[in-house]
């Protein structure tokens, strides 16, 4: 089953190499990609509501910020929406952008270098794999827990 990732970035960052690397990796790993720039909003529809809906339905949220994106109201608003919806979220921030250290402590942040973003992409890949394993383990725990519960009920009812 295809998962969905919402990628938030400034329109001024649409040519960033790391953006194309992230999209390529997610596409190869069976993710459908949403961005607020590709909304199919018809005239009269509320773009904010549609964006909130897309983010809330996403399995993964990735914010990307260079000097342009860090000042984008939309990127920060979309990040807040993802946090509010408890989405699995990561923020890729260019290493030359000044950031509040508390933001890094309180959020999952990966710094990237514009000239060499591959190392940051490796960290992102590991994070995605860890999330897959975590969800698989959670599902397995529910199955095993359910089977144990049924076995205990069966044992108690046999007595």
Query: At residue 33, does pLDDT exceed 50?
Result: yes
pLDDT band at 61 (very low <50, low <70, confident <90, very high): very high
How is the chain split into domains, by residue range? 3-158
Q: Phi-psi bin for 39: left (phi > 0), alpha (psi -120 to 50), beta?
A: beta
Contact 60, 87 (CB under 8 A): yes
Q: What are phi and psi of 127, to 5 degrees?
A: -60, -45
How many of the other CB atoms lie within 10 Å of CB of 18? Answer: 23
Please say if the pLDDT value at position 16 is more than 70.
Answer: yes
Q: Which residues share a beta bridge with 59?
A: none
86-109 pLDDT tens trace: 888 888 888 998 888 888 888 888
* Mean pLDDT across 50-78: 87
* Residue of 89, 91, 79, 78 whose CA lies nearest to 39: 78
Instruction: Decide if 123 contacts 100 (C-beta within 8 A).
Output: no
More confident residue, 86 or 146: 86
Compute the distance between CA of residue 19 and CA of residue 94 in angstroms, rounded to an integer: 12
Please give the residue that has the higher pLDDT: either 37 or 119.
119
Sequential DSSP letters for 131-146: HHHHHHHHHHHHHHHH
- % of the chain at pLDDT higher than 90: 9
pTM: 0.74
Q: What is the DSSP letter of 69?
A: G
Q: Which two tokens stand for residue 94?
A: 């260019």
The pLDDT confidence band at residue 139, using thresholds 50, 70 and 90, is very low
> What CATH number does the domain located at 3-158 have?
3.40.50.450
């Amino acid at each position: 089953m295809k998962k969905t990732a919402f990628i938030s970035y400034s329109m001024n960052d649409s040519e960033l190499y790391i953006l194309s690397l992230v999209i390529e990796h997610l596409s190869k790993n069976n993710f459908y990609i949403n961005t607020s720039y590709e909304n199919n909003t018809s005239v009269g529809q509320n773009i904010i509501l549609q964006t909130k809906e897309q983010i809330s339905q996403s399995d993964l949220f990735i914010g990307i910020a260079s000097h342009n994106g860090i000042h984008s109201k939309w990127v920060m608003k979309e990040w807040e929406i993802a946090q509010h919806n408890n989405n699995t979220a990561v923020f890729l921030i260019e290493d030359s952008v000044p950031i509040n250290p508390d933001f890094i402590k309180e959020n999952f942040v990966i710094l990237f270098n514009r000239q060499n973003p591959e190392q940051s992409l490796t960290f992102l890949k590991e994070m995605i794999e860890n999330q897959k394993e975590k969800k698989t383990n959670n599902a397995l725990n529910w199955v095993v827990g359910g089977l144990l519960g049924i076995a205990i009920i069966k044992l108690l009812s046999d007595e």
